A and B are shown apart, each in its own frame.
Chain A
């Protein structure tokens, strides 16, 4: 293991170490997370459990989705993606052009990958491979920026709002909290039980942000692609 010289502890070095430790912790968390379709975790000494949604729970979410959709289309503050596209166009922003640019970049990236793959197979010099790799990294980062820009332009559309709503509603439905059993007599404790973590969706959304974010993270590992938006 690399020895650390305390005299050489620049901010960059500390950040680099912090990132690698975070990566290691997160990778262990992910390893645990894929072991099962039911995840347990502790937050502020309370044990929580998120489980894969049943058919009945999914049905409940679909109903809520329909309800939320009706609510949002009545609200004039929210627009559909196509409406917003037209408004952006009037203001001189070409969204279709942006989408085309992203698609063209994807094609170009694939061409670069093909060339690099061919060079690897043909055992080209490592320096050359490394140069192309860097070009691809820079290109991908530029493309990512455009994708993020496009997503941020559509953050407040009806489509995005519904996605966010049903994602958090599903999280609320699949989270349980462990209630430890009471002490009957000295040394004897009743068996604990799992109950719904929150009585209502409103109490879930008004919980501490740190808890909500943690639960959303664990839930995302189980519910991604469960519901089609």
Chain B
């Protein structure tokens, strides 16, 4: 057999995880208590990577199904990487924006602390 490099192994694992058989298996594994590997503990590095790929393709299929992204995304690894990177980066930017908003609100609220003045109410005649 030919000895594969680390990158080739990862590509093979990724191609396997993308197969409908493993995707169906992954989708049902929890409900039907199916075991993916013979060992259920002390997983190897590549077994963990394989699980991550299964989960990644599960999420990607969901996005395609929900119409978040056209099906062409699954044509090749680069399209998939590009879409997932775009999705992750967009979310990161959105979170950063909302954090900035909250920070601004907090700052303006704390700025008002010193400006607080008592407002005594008087009984209306």
Tell whether A pairs with B. Answer: yes
Would B46 and A33 count as touching, CB distance under 8 A?
A: yes
Question: Within 8 Å of chain A (Cβ to Cβ): is B109?
Answer: no
A24-32, A178-186, A188-196 - the one binding chain B: A24-32
Question: Within 8 Å of chain B (Cβ to Cβ): is A35?
Answer: yes
Choose among A22, A25, A30, A38 the residue with the greatest number of B CB atoms under 10 Å from its CB. A30
Would A30 and B89 count as touching, CB distance under 8 A?
A: no
Question: Within 8 Å of chain A (Cβ to Cβ): is B79?
Answer: yes
Question: Within 8 Å of chain B (Cβ to Cβ): is A88?
Answer: no
Would A120 and B3 count as touching, CB distance under 8 A?
A: no
**Residue from B9, B69, B81, B83 within 8 A of A221 (CB atoms):** B9
Would A221 and B46 count as touching, CB distance under 8 A?
A: yes
Chain A residues whose C-beta falls within 8 Å of the C-beta of B42 in the assembled complex: 37, 52
Chain A residues whose C-beta falls within 8 Å of the C-beta of B15 in the assembled complex: 27
Interface residues on B, range: 35 or more
Question: Within 8 Å of chain B (Cβ to Cβ): is A166?
Answer: no
Main secondary structure of the interface of B (DSSP, over half): helix
* A-side interface residues, number (CB < 8 Å): 39
Query: Could you tell me the distance in whole angstroms from the C-beta of A149 to the nearest C-beta in chain B?
Result: 16
**Residue from B12, B16, B47, B69 within 8 A of A120 (CB atoms):** B69
Chain B residues whose C-beta falls within 8 Å of the C-beta of A229 in the assembled complex: none
Supposing A36-B39, A116-B78 touch, asked if A26 and B1 sit within 8 A by C-beta, the answer is yes
Would B1 and A29 count as touching, CB distance under 8 A?
A: yes
Chain A residues whose C-beta falls within 8 Å of the C-beta of B45 in the assembled complex: 224-226
Chain B residues whose C-beta falls within 8 Å of the C-beta of A117 in the assembled complex: 82-87
Per-residue interface assignment for chain A, residues 57 to 77, with 1 indicating a CB less than 8 Å from any chain B CB and 0 otherwise: 000000000000000000000
Supposing A26-B2, A34-B37 touch, asked if A114 and B44 sit within 8 A by C-beta, the answer is no
Question: Within 8 Å of chain A (Cβ to Cβ): is B66?
Answer: no
Would A34 and B50 count as touching, CB distance under 8 A?
A: yes
Would B72 and A129 count as touching, CB distance under 8 A?
A: yes
Interface residues of A in 206-229 (CB under 8 A from B): 213-214, 216-217, 220-222, 224-226
**Residue from A37, A114, A118 within 8 A of B39 (CB atoms):** A37
Query: Could you tell me the distance in whole angstroms from the C-beta of B47 to the nearest C-beta in chain A?
Result: 5
Q: Contact residues of A with B, CB < 8 Å?
A: 22-23, 25-27, 29-31, 33-38, 52, 110, 113-114, 116-118, 120-121, 123, 126, 129, 133, 136-137, 213-214, 216-217, 220-222, 224-226
Q: A25-B2, A133-B79 are in contact. List 6 more A-B contacts (CB 8 A).
A: A26-B1, A26-B12, A36-B37, A52-B44, A129-B72, A221-B44
